[in-house]
Amino acid sequence: MKIFFIVCALAFAVVSSHRFRGKAQCDRNEHWSASYCNSCDRTCRYPTSCNLMCYPPQCMCDEGFLRDDKNRCIPAQKCPRKHPSLGNEHNVAFNREDGLAEFIRRLGFNDYSLLAANIIKRHPLFKSSSANRPSPPGKPRPLRFGR
């Protein structure tokens, strides 16, 4: 039981110490954010993808700056280009949960449902006139969406 209380006290001390970390410890082009629920720190890899979440107090990049791979806040225009043949506006990241959502947005869709509706509308299975005929016994009838 003593060990439990010691572990809890240490955890509390660690969490509390982060609360008292001040602006003086932030690097250049950063500011101290004591808010628990604010927008996330944007990065060069994900300049537009940002989930509103709750974070511990931390140093965040100033407006117009993005965090690079070395964890420094640099001017957004100095971020390295991911695909030299395409502009930065075409950069898409797939190794993050929100990467697919960002890709869909860049295709011109606002959400997954619009993309799904567009795919369904164009897919041959749903355009086929056979979709309206009864299925042979033992075979499921394909669903028909749209026209």
Q: Given a cut of 60, is residue 35 above it in pLDDT?
A: yes
Say how far apart CA 111 and CA 104 lie, in whole Å.
7
The predicted structure's pLDDT at residue 41: 78
pLDDT at residue 3 greater than cutoff 50: yes
CA-wise closest residue to 59 among 91, 94, 34, 85: 34
| pTM score | 0.41
E-strand ranges in 11-96 read 30-33, 37-38, 53-54, 58-61, 65-67, 73-75
How confident is the model over 87-96, as pLDDT tens digits? 444 444 444 4
**pLDDT of 96-110, one tens digit each?**
445 555 665 566 555
Residue 75 pLDDT > 90, yes or no? yes
How would CATH label the architecture of 22-85?
Ribbon (2.10)
Q: Is residue 46 very low, low, confident or very high in pLDDT (cuts 50, 70, 90)? A: confident
Stronger pLDDT, 128 or 117, i.e. the higher one:
117
Mean pLDDT of 46-60: 75
Q: Would you list the domain boundaries of the chain?
A: 22-85
